[in-house]
Structure 1
């Protein structure tokens, strides 16, 4: 890693650490951490979190792309894949070529069809009860290296800190509600503008950035507008 790259990394990590100052907004903090991860970790294009809940389910939080939501859900449904194994058992799970990985004969080809070539997941644990995985996706095969592993583990640690600070159950509940309302808004945008899920999600992100408004607030506004139109 060059001196310039080290300086850039230091700046990114300083900004990421700043999001962890209490009190934190869990939704916003996780979104910022994962956005920083895909900007910083070599070879990585998208990211998400798989969170295990007390009732044994696994939920996705803070996805950076609609493809990630679909890839995560495939792993939960098929009961195979890096994010599932990392969230439930293994500290780090990596695949350099998902399309031919014999460990996941069902998930791998489906992930490749979504445009993902490689994937790595890092388990994290946060007191008192949060556990899950940081999922990092790469579009290109064989794009993961030692820097990917080292920096990915660092971001997994930051996520654990954020989850640990958000100890109250209502923080997790609000994060899950946020994920659900964003999914509803994606569906509305898809139908309204006749676009696919990726473009609909990108529309929400762009609107959030242009208006300096949280992604959840943008989604809530779109859903509320539809409800209002339906009632009128």
Structure 2
């Protein structure tokens, strides 16, 4: 991406940080921009800790990011998990062979096609802690430029959560994430699609109808419940 294009991306994201903001849309824009603007990066997501200590994913760019995040939460290992737990920056150049994560690394490389990964811890007032996660499809994709851009986008996430975050707002964002996951499962079963294609299906419906992804997911869930109740 050329410098003027990158500046345009940053300006667009920064403009979305003006109050009042749509937190979900702003975080989606940041992760999408991070994946598009950072050389070598194919997927991005945000991990946040909840009051109960659980970790959840916000604003994944696709199903690969979601599944990779959730595998790290389940195994309690991986760059994403370690960044949330306390490491400021966690980088892995070859996920399949890195000895730090003997379960997560080989499985993520084989099942999700992830070659390298980078996670940045962030803190947002008053008490949000999390990480921006960047995934590359090939090994050895992370260099100094990748780290600089990733750190910049992580700061934007912290600003968005710090400025726009109220308990109710974050709860709504987490609820949206759950609803989208439920809708992906319904679409997978209904149309016999894998997770990536089911997620892409929801995105296409959202874009073609100019409707938020959360609203598309809620509509699919409501339709499924209505059919199950015979209405």
Instruction: Give the TM-score normalised by the residue count of structure 1.
Output: 0.96
Residue equivalent to 2:190: 192
- Please list every run of 5 or more consecutive structure 1 residues that lacks an aligned counterpart in the other structure: none
Equivalent in the alignment of 1:105: 102
> What's 2:6 paired with?
9
Deviations 1:195-222 (A, max 9, x none): 1111000111111122221111111111
Which of the residues 52, 56, 61 maps onto 2:53?
Answer: 56
The match for 1:95 is 92
1:206-217 correspondence to structure 2 within 5 Å: 206-217=204-215
- The more displaced of 216-225 and 121-130 is 216-225
The runs of 4+ residues in structure 1 deviating greater than 4 Å are none
CA distance in 2, matches of 1:97, 1:230: 46
RMSD of aligned residue pairs (Cα, Å): 1.0
Q: Give, in angstroms, the shift of residue 167 of structure 1.
A: 2.9
Report the Cα distance in structure 2 between the residues aligned to 1:224 and 1:140, rounded to whole angstroms. 39
The counterpart of 1:221, out of the listed 198, 219, 222, is 219
**2:33 aligns to what?**
36
Corresponding residue pairs, total:
229
Separation in structure 2 between the aligned mates of residue 116 and residue 167 of structure 1, nearest angstrom: 31
CA separation in 2, counterparts of 1:6 and 1:68? 26
Aligned-partner SS, 1:59:
strand
For the residues of structure 2 that align with 1:91 and 1:219, how far apart are their CA atoms?
34
- Cross-structure match for 1:183: 181
Report whether the alignment pairs 1:125 with 2:123. yes
| Whole-Å separation in 1 of the counterparts to 2:141 and 2:154 | 19
The one of 133, 139, 142 aligned to 1:141: 139
1:192 Cα offset (Å): 1.0
Counterpart of 1:20 in structure 2 is 17
Other-structure match for 2:70 = 73
Where structure 2 has 5 or more consecutive residues not aligned to the other structure, the ranges are none
